[in-house]
Structure 1
Amino acid sequence: MEAQPDSPAPSFDALRRKLAGSLLEPGGPGYAELATPWNRAVATSPAAVVEAAGAQDVAEAVGFAAANGMPVAVQATGHGVASTMDGALLVHTRSLDTCIIDTDARTAATGAGVTWKTVLGAGHDPGLVGLCGSAPGVSVAGYTSGGGIGPMARTFGAASDRVLSFDVVTGDGLLRHATAATEPELFWGLRGGKGSLGIITGMEFELLPLAHIYAGALFFGTDDIPHVLRTWAQWCPPLPPEATTSVALMHLPPMPGVPEPLAGRFTVSVRYVYTGNADDGATWLAPMRSAGVPIMDMVGLIPSSMIGLVHSDPEDALPAAEGSMLLSDFTAGAADTLLDAAGPDSGSPQLMVEIRQFGGALAEEPEVPSALCHRQAGYGLYTVGVGAPPELPAIADASVALQQHMSASAYDGTLPNFSSGSGAGGFAANYTAPVLDRLSSLARHFDPDNVFRLGQVPTR
Structure 2
Amino acid sequence: MTANSAAGKPEDDHASRAAAIAELGARVQGVVYAPGDPGYDDERSGFQTAFRPSPDVIVGAANAEDVRLAVEFARAHGLSMSVRATGHAPADASPGGVLISTRRMAEVRVDPAARTAWAQAGARWERVVAESTPHGLAPLNGSAPHVGVVAYTLGGGLGLLAREFGYAADHVRAIEVVTADATLRRVTADGDADLFWALRGGRDNFGIVTSIEFDLMPVARVYGGSLVFDTDLVEAATAAYLAWTENVPEQVTSSISFIGLPDIEQVPAPLRGRHTASIKIVYTGDAADGERLVAPLRAVGPRLVDDLADLPYARSHTIHNDPAHPHAYLGDNVLVRDLDPEALRAVYELAGPSAPMMVMHEVRHLGGALSRQPAVPNAVGGRDARYIVRVVAMIDGADLDAARALQADVQAVLKPLSLGRNLNFVYGDGVAPGPDRVAEVYDPSTRARLAQLKAAYDPGNLFAGNHNLGGVDPDPASR
Query: TM-score range with shorter-chain normalisation?
Result: over 0.9
Partner residue in 1 for 2:376: 368
CA separation in 2, counterparts of 1:193 and 1:151? 22
Amino acid in structure 2 at the alignment position of 1:80:
A
Is the partner of 1:384 in helix, strand or coil?
A: strand
Partner residue in 2 for 1:444: 455
CA offsets per residue over residues 331-366 of structure 1, 9 Å max, x none? Answer: 23333333433344x445342110111001100111
Is the partner of 1:26 in helix, strand or coil?
A: coil
Does residue 268 in structure 1 map to residue 281 in structure 2? no
CA offsets per residue over residues 385-431 of structure 1, 9 Å max, x none? Answer: 113255232122112212212334x2221111111326023222111
Mark the CA change 1:375 to 1:348 in structure 2 (over 3 Å): closer, same or farther: farther
Aligned partner (choices 413, 421, 438) of residue 405 of structure 1: 413
TM-score, normalised via structure 1 length: 0.95
Is the partner of 1:121 in helix, strand or coil?
A: helix
Aligned partner (choices 433, 457, 461) of residue 423 of structure 1: 433
Amino acid in structure 2 at the alignment position of 1:342:
A
Matches within 5 A, 1:299-448: 299-344=308-353, 346-347=354-355, 349-408=357-416, 410-421=417-428, 423-424=433-434, 425-448=436-459
CA separation in 2, counterparts of 1:257 and 1:4? 53
Query: Quick check: 2:336–2:420 contact (8 Å CA) kept in 1?
Result: no
Partner residue in 1 for 2:66: 57
CA separation in 2, counterparts of 1:398 and 1:335? 15
Query: Quick check: 1:441–1:459 contact (8 Å CA) kept in 2?
Result: no
Amino acid in structure 2 at the alignment position of 1:420:
Y
Is the partner of 2:201 in helix, strand or coil?
A: coil
Greater mean deviation of Cα atoms: 54-63 or 246-255: 246-255
Query: Quick check: 1:54–1:96 contact (8 Å CA) kept in 2?
Result: yes
Partner residue in 2 for 1:129: 138
Greater mean deviation of Cα atoms: 241-250 or 422-431: 422-431
CA offsets per residue over residues 203-238 of structure 1, 9 Å max, x none? Answer: 110001111000111111111111111111111111
Does residue 282 in structure 1 map to residue 291 in structure 2? yes
Partner residue in 1 for 2:183: 174
Is the partner of 1:248 in helix, strand or coil?
A: strand
Partner residue in 2 for 1:106: 115
Query: Quick check: 2:106–2:123 contact (8 Å CA) kept in 1?
Result: yes
Contiguous gaps of at least 5 residues in structure 2: 473-479
Greater mean deviation of Cα atoms: 383-392 or 260-269: 383-392
CA separation in 2, counterparts of 1:34 and 1:239? 45
Question: What is the root-mean-square deviation in Å for CA atoms of aligned residues?
Answer: 1.9
Partner residue in 2 for 1:252: 261
CA separation in 1, counterparts of 2:37 and 2:84? 19
CA separation in 2, counterparts of 1:189 and 1:242? 28
**Pairs aligned (count):** 457
Is the partner of 2:447 in helix, strand or coil?
A: helix
Is the partner of 1:382 in helix, strand or coil?
A: strand
Is the partner of 1:193 in helix, strand or coil?
A: helix
Amino acid in structure 1 at the alignment position of 2:380:
L
Partner residue in 1 for 2:243: 234
CA offsets per residue over residues 247-280 of structure 1, 9 Å max, x none? Answer: 0111122456431211221111001111112211
Query: Quick check: 1:73–1:85 contact (8 Å CA) kept in 2?
Result: no
Is the partner of 2:469 in helix, strand or coil?
A: coil
Amino acid in structure 1 at the alignment position of 2:83:
V
How far the C-alpha of 1:443 sits from its partner, in A, is: 1.8
Amino acid in structure 1 at the alignment position of 2:437:
G
Does residue 36 in structure 1 map to residue 45 in structure 2? yes
Mark the CA change 1:327 to 1:317 in structure 2 (over 3 Å): closer, same or farther: same
CA separation in 2, counterparts of 1:389 and 1:175? 43
Amino acid in structure 1 at the alignment position of 2:104:
S
CA separation in 1, counterparts of 2:295 and 2:439? 41
TM-score, normalised via structure 2 length: 0.91
